[in-house]
Structure 1
């Protein structure tokens, strides 16, 4: 991730167009004409190997080496085979950024046999120039009069950034947005993405105050870890809305290798975007509808919706769509119903949706809104109007706008029809009230707003503490290491059970037998019905139903009772094995006492690995393969209890569990604990490729694994979200009190102790830390402090056992925020008032300085109030430079951690 030289891309003072001519169809000529027509205020020049004095009046030279001045930005529009050399020449000439518009480089090949786009990438890396493209439509920054594209029209200035991948899609969006009155702060496409990627651009846009929302058109995410880190930062401060094309195998541009147990890539993208806080929509039209509600509508306090119309039909259509999208109608209070009844016909249904009757006047619309605004249970109102002979649509629109002013309601509208309601729609637009053409689109846009807030809320939920992050699981790691030494790519059935049991996942007691005689002997001990499973090498791999279509469940005979029945069952299993898996080595039989469980409730849970997105957690139905594959839902590790519950609630089996389980809460918790634990296993042991527990059943309080399979990969894989960095934990002893303290990275589960820590601080300590007096800290405040992205932030907390032994308490904390380029980190530190003088502040700062230095951060900075003498003394002891900032009236602190490696880093720091 880097915003290196992106300022010269988005705000260049000079541009050269390489390959421009006055030929009407010349690509460079089109770009040059757009630059001139857009009124670009900077210097323009042209490079063309033909001996032109000028092109469209712009001075032209034959070679890059003859450019009179070094431009900030180069736009390359030359034939494919010339592009790598041109990029190299520009980079050697000191040009910092280039847009490669030339297409076909993915299909044209160099003399080495590789596609030319990789030659472009290599040339850019060797010379330090940053590349947008190849095969990009270019870039627009309307507020800066920059139209460096070949698009057929320019975009209007606005507050929305669009980052796409397809030039043809981008062209249609410009046209579409203009018709809807949507302007852009930035508009560009990545093309082949050989240099600048989504993550670079999102990092830049997240920091740009002129950008209020980000629209993404995705075809793929080649760097998912970098993308995830950038988008998670951006989505916390501004809406990010994405369209992903290529949702089905038939529309995917390139063949995709699917992870075991997954039949389509689209659910993976769903999981990625949801975890990043992105609102995913199904198409370009929905993108702009969602933008309308997210940027013009207040946050949704309650999710219930009131539908109000001058007719029954539109209201019914809206409710149908709402329920289809799992939305809910708001309940009207008795007082609200009586107040509305005083203005409506006697035959009114006295419920939501509200039919105002076909002759509803502007006064009635306004009065209905005022009545609804007085109901504390009503937050969101869809106001609809169907054209009639009795009333004027614009007058009713004006009444709705006036009545809505000053209320706490989220009001959005749907004026049906077209010819006679255009003025009303324009009036709503001017008043910043979302308005839609149909009930279905209005409700869909509202539910997108609801879903976006659910995703954002999910990022801030406080998970309950469950998993012991500090317990050593050496036995499980030793089992995997043994299989690795023996050259196996899977664990045996007994080894797989031992691994999950080491992580406290219970499994059904199992006896392993080499032949039928041993099975009979085991039955003689049990003297109760048993389940017999034939084990062979192929069955030791997870997600067998996806690999073979046969399914592991066919290798088991249940509730076998009696010696004769056992021999018959074993013979049957052997016959099926020889028919279906003749090449798979026979490993014996597994015997279990027949287990009872809640009728029909069997879960399949596990881990699989995607070649791009790494480990994935899966959850769904067990049983026949058709049920497993259709119900299998996906989430990204690491999981906590909140995220695990959200994953579980997406499954069909969860509804059955809530309906039929005698202990739904206990069983829900048991499954969530299992999911969290599985995600931790693959984090702790990254050589594991897949884990499948099927079925997962229930005893009185716990989830119990009946069968488990684990396989291994040749190479380890990390989750695309940085997990808790356990290796950074450190125990220290406070010198004065001798108290033993753990200094470790913060966890989301630390929110309660973190809140208590802040609320126990003196007003002076709070002012020193936050530069203002604060009496209270909300859940949102503290959640943002503890739910961090370890790729971008770090928080070390000093925790110790409470004196009464009831848990941990926080004694001190230090945090840093690091920019996307890893140049600067800003720090803040605070120690509990009663522990000052213990050296804890020094310990925390020293640990953070060592951490930031090790990750390559160039310098650490901070601001301190001039009267905060203890912090200034500590800073001097640690070697910080201290200067008084006259403008801000604070002390600026700076500590060099590493030497800058490039001229760009030195320029930025200066």
Structure 2
């Protein structure tokens, strides 16, 4: 059976059976039947209970075998011990989809886990699609399907929502009823034994009743599949998500800079960034954005104009815009002249447009009409405080009237509570989002603009550099054969050279005489570094000396560095590396990756050196990286101006840094057994970049792990 047919059976069934239907009010099997009837479901409803009789006016079928063959949807509410048998019997009559509301599966321990695996196996063998177990059910307001045990029926709307947490589903349904927010689809995923967030994104992307997709996520099983589905979905419509549980305690200590910084949170954030998902921190913010996306047109630019009857809130809105991607729109002279014609002399005629506290609905309406007509204005915020002189409901009607005809995003912020509640209801019915505070309104408009920009992005271009992967493979195989779990600098350089990465001239010296010969060959000044697989952070043990410009200082440095290193417990000191100095004007940057269990290699970039873990000024993306990815990574760190050049310094070669990141990404993809990698520092300068120090941490290849 095709996936689309299965999903149709789940979301748009012609008949629904409730297995474990009950006559007792308050029981799950009674609530599901009651909700199907109350929502106005027009298909056939078959309550199933061995005692037969009647439930809520519907004739009860006494056994699953008495149901029609090829049944679209069965909602299972029986005790856990009866679920497997029920599934087998439903499969025997050709049931196409099931929702398992029953709890007590993998969320309670080993026995529940194996039962859940058995349930999923039955469904796979018989091509039955399964939602749950341990879920609330699902709602499709388009056809009146409410196959849940939640109290109340959500209003019809254009917002789809899915959640792993059933309790959160119940809370959000209740909150939505109170706010008058409607849904197109509402899905509780439960334990996700079969259907998960990826399936929901694929289904809702093509749903004609859905304008915006909301989701609450705790964990994602197949990160790469989720990433692809999200990238496809966000091109069609906005996807807004809450992600919880990204900082699990007890994560193992990592030896590399990357390992110390690349946690689950970073991987999820990179996935959301690369896929265009709009991430919010809480339910309130999610609703704020959903209201804007479900009611407002797409903005054509970033320019915001604020029309307000109070100066203070207008300044708050301007401050919020400054923190976002939006601009306060520069009004044309013609617009200012038109405002002068009817606003008081003491009104503020420039953005924010303060029409003064005694403004009535007519003044609000005229001001909105004038600024909306300005081609420099792409979106408008109508901001009101309930002064004694203002009829707030009349202003709400004026805002709604202007919003209905202008073709630009218009949102409102009516500050207060009791005095503005009626006005907010007027705006809600007119499909104009109304917020309590200016920063929430600006956040929603900023999200509209960001999504519009995302949809205009060019398709990602992946670059594949020429490389000698056979040589790199040989280096790694030889290291593993010797029992190495890490390749450090002088060992790692062979891998870097195989990929054409620029590295400084480096020679391993086991004695001070060899060091002197190496320095003569390379040419002074040189850098001296301790060579030991067990010493990851050389600076911590005084293992690096830079700027050595003569043989006497070199010999002294060699003895000093090796003596200090020998004090490190269990450190095998192979000697020192003699290395050419990076060109003057170089700036240290850092690049690395860590393999995330869900999403694969997470590539990080930031300023390099000894403080990289302390400052944590890094950007991250999931491999494979595109040209657009690396360009954004380099430019979104806070210290980007240092690379661009300050106080007359020339900028570094950004193309060279981007090449290093793209090559690093390719190494991560080519060699799954590399768990972590550090390039720190990479010396970037106006004419290029040198990978000065590298470290690879090895794990088992994928084939060995399986």
Residue 132 of structure 1 and its aligned partner are, at CA, apart by 0.7
Query: Which runs of no fewer than 5 residues in structure 2 stay unpaired?
Result: none
Residue 270 of structure 1 and its aligned partner are, at CA, apart by 1.6
* Structure 1 segment 739-758 matched on structure 2, within 5 A: none
Residue matched to 1:389: 388
The 8 Å contact of residues 261 and 629 in structure 1, kept in 2 or not, is answered as no
Q: d(CA) in 2 for partners of 1:97 and 1:401?
A: 43
Question: Secondary structure of the equivalent of 1:531?
Answer: strand
The 8 Å contact of residues 652 and 685 in structure 2, kept in 1 or not, is answered as no
Residue matched to 1:423: 422
**Structure 1 position 703 matched with structure 2 position 692:** no
Question: Secondary structure of the equivalent of 1:36?
Answer: helix
Residue 552 of structure 1 and its aligned partner are, at CA, apart by 7.0
Q: d(CA) in 2 for partners of 1:276 and 1:699?
A: 32
Residue matched to 2:156: 157
The 8 Å contact of residues 643 and 652 in structure 2, kept in 1 or not, is answered as no
Residue 707 of structure 1 and its aligned partner are, at CA, apart by 0.8
Residue 604 of structure 1 and its aligned partner are, at CA, apart by 0.6
Given the superposition, is the C-alpha separation of residues 327 and 578 from structure 1 closer, same or farther in structure 2, using an over 3 Å criterion?
Answer: farther
**Structure 1 position 585 matched with structure 2 position 572:** yes
Q: d(CA) in 2 for partners of 1:664 and 1:173?
A: 53
Question: Secondary structure of the equivalent of 1:128?
Answer: coil
Residue 313 of structure 1 and its aligned partner are, at CA, apart by 0.8
Given the superposition, is the C-alpha separation of residues 424 and 514 from structure 1 closer, same or farther in structure 2, using an over 3 Å criterion?
Answer: same
Given the superposition, is the C-alpha separation of residues 266 and 417 from structure 1 closer, same or farther in structure 2, using an over 3 Å criterion?
Answer: same
The 8 Å contact of residues 300 and 378 in structure 2, kept in 1 or not, is answered as yes
The 8 Å contact of residues 531 and 559 in structure 1, kept in 2 or not, is answered as yes
Residue matched to 2:318: 319
Question: Secondary structure of the equivalent of 1:260?
Answer: helix
Residue 229 of structure 1 and its aligned partner are, at CA, apart by 2.2
The 8 Å contact of residues 88 and 122 in structure 2, kept in 1 or not, is answered as yes
Residue 571 of structure 1 and its aligned partner are, at CA, apart by 4.2
| Backbone CA RMSD of aligned residues | 3.1
Moved more, 271-280 or 88-97: 88-97
Q: d(CA) in 1 for partners of 2:322 and 2:23?
A: 58
The 8 Å contact of residues 257 and 611 in structure 1, kept in 2 or not, is answered as no
Question: Secondary structure of the equivalent of 1:9?
Answer: helix
- What TM-score, normalized by structure 2, do the two folds share? 0.90
Question: Secondary structure of the equivalent of 1:652?
Answer: coil
Residue matched to 2:32: 31
Residue 376 of structure 1 and its aligned partner are, at CA, apart by 3.1
* Structure 1 segment 66-465 matched on structure 2, within 5 A: 66-67=66-67, 71-108=71-108, 114-249=113-248, 260-325=259-324, 327-347=326-346, 351-404=350-403, 406-407=405-406, 409-458=408-457, 460=458
Residue matched to 2:516: 520
Question: Secondary structure of the equivalent of 1:537?
Answer: coil
Residue 128 of structure 1 and its aligned partner are, at CA, apart by 3.1
* Structure 1 segment 361-760 matched on structure 2, within 5 A: 361-404=360-403, 406-407=405-406, 409-458=408-457, 460=458, 467=463, 474-483=470-479, 488-525=484-521, 528-539=524-535, 555-563=543-551, 565-580=553-568, 582-598=569-585, 601-625=587-611, 627=613, 630-660=616-646, 667-716=653-702
Q: d(CA) in 2 for partners of 1:576 and 1:161?
A: 62
Given the superposition, is the C-alpha separation of residues 295 and 67 from structure 1 closer, same or farther in structure 2, using an over 3 Å criterion?
Answer: closer
Given the superposition, is the C-alpha separation of residues 347 and 565 from structure 1 closer, same or farther in structure 2, using an over 3 Å criterion?
Answer: farther
Question: Secondary structure of the equivalent of 1:121?
Answer: helix
Moved more, 433-442 or 14-23: 14-23
Q: d(CA) in 2 for partners of 1:575 and 1:24?
A: 81
Residue 556 of structure 1 and its aligned partner are, at CA, apart by 1.8
Residue 366 of structure 1 and its aligned partner are, at CA, apart by 3.2
Residue 35 of structure 1 and its aligned partner are, at CA, apart by 2.1
The 8 Å contact of residues 305 and 328 in structure 1, kept in 2 or not, is answered as yes
Q: d(CA) in 2 for partners of 1:308 and 1:659?
A: 40
The 8 Å contact of residues 670 and 703 in structure 1, kept in 2 or not, is answered as yes
The 8 Å contact of residues 620 and 628 in structure 1, kept in 2 or not, is answered as no
The 8 Å contact of residues 105 and 116 in structure 1, kept in 2 or not, is answered as yes
Q: d(CA) in 1 for partners of 2:693 and 2:662?
A: 18
Q: Deviations over 1:839-871 (max 9, x none)?
A: xxxxxxxxxxxxxxxxxxxxxxxxxxxxxxxxx
Residue matched to 1:826: none
Question: Secondary structure of the equivalent of 1:602?
Answer: strand
Given the superposition, is the C-alpha separation of residues 472 and 499 from structure 1 closer, same or farther in structure 2, using an over 3 Å criterion?
Answer: closer
Given the superposition, is the C-alpha separation of residues 129 and 68 from structure 1 closer, same or farther in structure 2, using an over 3 Å criterion?
Answer: closer
Moved more, 270-279 or 478-487: 478-487
Given the superposition, is the C-alpha separation of residues 673 and 624 from structure 1 closer, same or farther in structure 2, using an over 3 Å criterion?
Answer: same
Q: d(CA) in 2 for partners of 1:201 and 1:263?
A: 28
- What TM-score, normalized by structure 1, do the two folds share? 0.71
Q: d(CA) in 1 for partners of 2:496 and 2:91?
A: 54
Moved more, 184-193 or 643-652: 643-652
Residue 139 of structure 1 and its aligned partner are, at CA, apart by 1.0
The alignment covers a number of residue pairs equal to 699
Question: Secondary structure of the equivalent of 2:259?
Answer: coil
